[in-house]
Amino acid sequence: MKKNQKTPHLLDTPLSVINVGLESFSEDLKSQNVATLHIDWSPPAGGDPVLGDLLSKLGA
């Protein structure tokens, strides 16, 4: 799985945001010139709690 090789320092590492949820946050960040990628999010497994639970246990 791809992950950040260096642990980002909250107060130091340049902000680069993945926004999951309200699009307005994404717009606010972009207007402050923060690199932001907005996700077209929808609940995992279409919101099915049983499948969602299975997925989290299967390392998804």
Contacts to another protein by CB under 8 A: 1-22, 24-25, 28-29, 32, 34-35, 37-46, 48-49, 51-52, 54-60
Work out how close the CB of 44 gets to another protein at its nearest, in angstroms, rounded to a whole number: 5
Q: Which residues of 10-46 are buried (b: 16+ CB within 10 A; e: fewer)?
A: eeeeeeeeebeeeeeebeebeeeeeebebeeeeeeee
- What letter would DSSP give residue 26? H
**CB of 53 vs another protein, minimal distance in Å:** 9
In angstroms, what is the minimal distance from the CB of 38 to another protein? 7
